[in-house]
Chains A and B, each alone.
Chain A
Amino acid sequence: MPSSLTGFEPAPLGDFLRRASSYALIATPILFFIVFFLGPLLYLFVVSLLEPSKTELYGTRLTLENYERILVDDFYHRIVTRTLLVGSLVTGTALLIAYPVAMAIARMSPRWRILAMIALMFPLMLSNVVRAYGWIAVLGRQGVVNSVLIGVGAIDTPLAMLYSIETVVIGLMTILLPYMIISIANALTSIDRAYSEAAQSLGANPWRTFIHVTLPLSSPGVAAGMQIVFFLTLSAYVTIALLGGPRFSLLVSLVYRSAMAFQWTQAAALAFVLLTVALCVGTLIVLVLRPGRVQGRG
């Protein structure tokens, strides 16, 4: 085929260099990704499939018993259920509070919007440990709330507010709320005003405009916000430990405890259960909200 012969002319050197440099450009992040993320993950997965060892961090024989134990034992079931419950409560309440706040921010003038966003970032600059101790100072036996209530004579003995699921949820929610607000506010801000005007011109009152147009069009921000908040809840070890107390365990607490007890194979298996939970919930959020409809994918 002569035509393919002519198509086989050597590319000029400039072309070659340009292509080589663009490969070099993406090679660095890909290498980084492999060495620092994919590699350790694979290593961890292999560890989760090894038998435990009394003398080493892990044994040499491949086995599924680390996973079997989690699947069979009721204790683990309760922990997974509780993890899902806390994650859903935190994500749900954060969503309910964040959406109206985000709408208010989206309606501000650009200048005030930037100021509001910066204000929302402030709490994120504080360490989680500091914030958890802050909550302890407020809600503890000798905390602000109890002191005030006893001081005004409303109660005689301090209320036990710490170490409960409510406290954990409130503590996590206040930490994670800014992520949700910023994510939704960005989505709302980027919606063209013409969409809601088009809805109104077709007879939709403000409420129906919100339900049929604004809400679905903000779904990318809602989905992203829910995912961020849910994933961060799954990994919020410090807050859960400090506000939930020693007996309140979620999956992440078990991972930590197993690792500290040198049960590496068990910790690795639990870590992958945690990852699976995260992937399932993340997928569920996308399937329900279908943000792809708005983002130009089918």
Chain B
Amino acid sequence: MSTTQAINNRSKTAGLEQESSQATSTSSVYDTKQLNLWYGDNHALKNIDLDIKQNEVTAIIGPSGCGKSTYLKTLNRMVELVPNVKTSGQIMYRGRNIFDKDYSVEELRTRVGMVFQKPNPFPKSIYDNIAYGPRIHGIKNKKILDEIVEKSLRGAAIWDEVKDRLNENAYSISGGQQQRICIARALAIEPDVILMDEPTSALDPISTLKIEELVQELKKDYSIIIVTHNMQQAARISDKTAFFLNGEVIEYDNTDTIFSNPSDKRTEDYISGRFG
């Protein structure tokens, strides 16, 4: 594919994205229906039904081992990297079942970005980290890459800190900065959804605050699904919250409702700190 073609395709998809977001501002991004997942004999997710809306921050909370990270990794099928994983049910992403035989994982993951628990930049320069996504998807023009890199770094609120050291190794900066580089790396291909798997659990309080502010900023353009151990964080930044326990969704509602007036006793026990 030539450079111009690639860019045309890219702007076409970006355009489509905008249209659809205008037309269906409350439409769902992910609609999970009766999802079950097993690691070998271990039934890790049980009959999950979740409808995740566009341009919202959806938090997934629950004690360790409740399946919240597993669910998140199922949304971009990263969970399939674990040997002996079996699933049943459906996850409709923008109206298409991601488990369909002809749905390519690469295509899914190009539309759905991910930020991991521990910052995992590539052992390359900051610039090459951000340019990685666009490059593998066919964008080679240096000027356009420069623009994408700047825009993504600005989007992740780290441009001012690294603009003079774009050619330094991404491991030369602090952990909090690395995590924002990873967010910028995900933004560089302008995904539709960003999955975040406890993105602040390895960071200090100030870096955590910066990332939380960033999430608020990003939800204008992206739908964000965030797994967190930290209930205050969920309360601060999310619009909807799902409470997972032992592989089941116990309660899923507006964050305000979950934290002020939960309908299930177990949710109340968990958020008030009685277990977990």
Tell me if chain B binds chain A: no
